[in-house]
Every structure is written in structure tokens, then in C-alpha cells.
Amino acid sequence: MATWKELELDSMSKVHRETLSSATHDSGCGSLCLTDKNETAIHHINPEVESPYTQPLVWFKVREYCRDAFSEFFGTMILILFGDGVVAQVLLSHGQKGDYQSISWGWGLGVMLGIYASGASGGHINPAVTFANCVLRGFPWPKFPVYALAQILGAMCGAAIVYGNYKSAINVYEGGPNIRTVPGYSTTATGGIFCTYPAEFMTKPGQFFSEFLASAVLMFMIFALKDDGNLGAGTLTPLALFFVVFGIGACFGWETGYAINLARDFGPRLTSYMIGYGHEVWAAGDYYFWVCFIWTSHGPNFVDFLGLRILLS
């Protein structure tokens, strides 16, 4: 009769085989992955040999269920660390340590490195990408709230780290440790480090169209780069998206700050509200945050329905 230890190890071996056989489906790579996941060999677990590296069965299951969420969390955190970090450096140095193009480069790097960091989950790092996959590509709907929440929390964490790193410089720039302002309310505002605010001359229709255009271009290029019937980018997709985001920032970013990502804007906006920037983070630009909330979520799906079903396979 098998001992309890043998039964546990046999159960672990079974879970290991089932996990690897279903990894592609569970992580959404059957729909749209921005990274290619490597196949892992299945190793037989010998019940006669007790390894000091054998993981408890409970932790093995917990890790498997939480891996995608942690992957999206850290990938989005990396995105914000580079994106908000470059904005902080350019703004707080009064342009001496960078310029507008530096910001475009920083966000492009953030996207590329964030995708690489979240390869285990498919490298979405954007609720719009996950949502579009659920609607149009068969991605499991139960995973959408998990991915979206992980992305928003990762963005919040990244913004908090940037704030901690640049807090002293923010105090000097704003004029005091207890002064925190957002664009449109002060000439020394630093709220724009964390989330997007529209230029003062932008009308509400202009805000909507600017964000719709940038979000639509991003999603169109993501699907085009990953389309098997197109030229595609293969394993170079993260690098290609670096140039896509750089181009969006360089060509369409001035008017509204090209949020193009709900987690990238809403997460740091919530963080900035919590650390003392006040109600103005929501009220600025005639409650501009709703524009980002709507168009970064639904603009990409509009593009897919109109264009991708005709042009791409």
C-alpha cells in the first residue's frame, strides 16, 4: 500500500503534467500574447527520492493560480517605473536632464520591458488588451477582472515608488513639503508626473478624439504585429511596440498626454490622490479622467470591429 508521502508526490506529478499541458490556454496565449512562452519539459517525480527542493503541494497550486496576476502586476509596475520616472526627471530638472522626446523614449522602454517582465501571463499590462481579447479573441472572461485588478495595483505601486524616489525634488519644485498641485491649478504643478492631464486649450470633443486616436493606433498595431497572416514581429514584438509607443508619444502625445492604457492612468491617478494631490486629480480638465476611462477601454474594440476583420486574419 502506498504511503502518504508517495501519494502526495504522485499528486504533485499529476498536477505538474496537467498544468503544463494547459498553460497556453490558461494564460491567454491562444488568443493574443505579446510574448512567446517556452515549452517546459515534464520531468517524472520519483517517489523513492525525496528532494530538498520539493515544493509543498498547496504552495504549488497557489503559485499556479496566482502566477498570471503577479506577472501582470510586476509588468505594469515596471511600465510605470520607467514612464512616470522619466516624466519626473524631465519636469523636476526644468528640462536640464531631458526633454519631451526623452519622455517618449522612457514610455517606449517601459512598455517593452514591462512586456518582457510579464511574459508568463502573455504580457498584456493593459486592461484594454485583456478586454479586447475577451470580446474578440476567446480569452477567458473570468480572468479579465483578475488581470485588470493586477494591472491597476501594479500601476499604483509603480507610481508610489516613483513618488518616494522623487519626493525631495517634488518638495523643492512645488515650493514646500505640504504643497501638491495638478496642471491647470498651478504653474509649478507636479501631478502630471503620475497621470495625464489635457492641455488647457483642448475642448471636450478634442480630448475624446485625441485619446481615441492614440488608443486605436496602439491596439491596431498590437493585433497587426501578432497576426499570423501578416508580416508580424514574432519574438521581436516587445521591441516593435517600443517604437509604436515612442511614435504615438512623439506624434500624438502633446494634447492629452496619450494615456492609451486605463491602468497606466487610473492607477497612478488614484495613488496621487492618496498621497495628497487632492480632489483636483479628478476635477482637472473638466473631469478629464472619464475620457481616459472610456476611450482607453472601448476605442481598441472599435478599431478591431472596423478594420482588423477586413485587413487581418
Q: Which residues contact 269 (CB under 8 A, 6 or more apart)?
A: 194, 195, 281, 282, 289
Q: Does any domain span residue 17?
A: no
Beta-strand ranges (E) seen in the chain are none
Pull the grid cell for residue 259: 494615456
Residue 40's pLDDT band, with cuts at 50, 70 and 90, is very low
Predicted confidence (pLDDT) at residue 22 exceeds the cutoff of 80: no
Predicted confidence (pLDDT) at residue 5 exceeds the cutoff of 80: no
Q: Does any domain span residue 36?
A: no
- For the segment 87-125, what is each residue's pLDDT rounded down to a tens digit? 999 999 999 999 999 999 999 999 999 999 999 999 999
- For the segment 252-265, what is each residue's pLDDT rounded down to a tens digit? 999 999 999 999 99
pLDDT at 106: 98
Long-range contacts of residues 174-183, Cβ cutoff 8 Å, at least 24 apart:
178/276, 180/272, 180/275, 180/276, 180/277, 180/278, 181/277, 181/280, 182/272, 182/277, 182/278, 182/280, 182/281, 182/284, 183/284
Q: Does any domain span residue 5?
A: no
Predicted confidence (pLDDT) at residue 300 exceeds the cutoff of 50: yes
Domain that holds residue 240: 66-311
Q: Does any domain span residue 51?
A: no
Q: Strand, coil or helix: what is 156?
A: helix
- For the segment 268-298, what is each residue's pLDDT rounded down to a tens digit? 999 999 999 999 999 999 999 999 888 776 6
Q: Span 48-57, mean pLDDT?
A: 56
If we measure between CA atoms, which residue out of 212, 240, 211, 206 comes closest to residue 226?
A: 240
Q: Does any domain span residue 173?
A: yes
Q: Does any domain span residue 130?
A: yes
Q: Does any domain span residue 120?
A: yes
CB burial of residue 191 (10 Å; 0-12, 13-18, 19+)? buried
Q: In this structure, are residues 155 and 194 in contact, taking their beta carbons and an 8 Å threshold?
A: no
Residue 287 is part of a domain; what is its CATH number?
1.20.1080.10
Q: In this structure, are residues 106 and 99 in contact, taking their beta carbons and an 8 Å threshold?
A: no
Mutual orientation of helices 262-272 and 57-92 as an angle, nearest 10°?
80
* Number of domains forming the structure of the chain: 1
- For the segment 154-173, what is each residue's pLDDT rounded down to a tens digit? 999 999 999 999 999 999 99
The model's pTM is: 0.82
Q: In this structure, are residues 220 and 308 in contact, taking their beta carbons and an 8 Å threshold?
A: yes
| Of residues 134 and 252, more confidently modeled | 252
Residue 48's pLDDT band, with cuts at 50, 70 and 90, is very low
Q: Does any domain span residue 60?
A: no
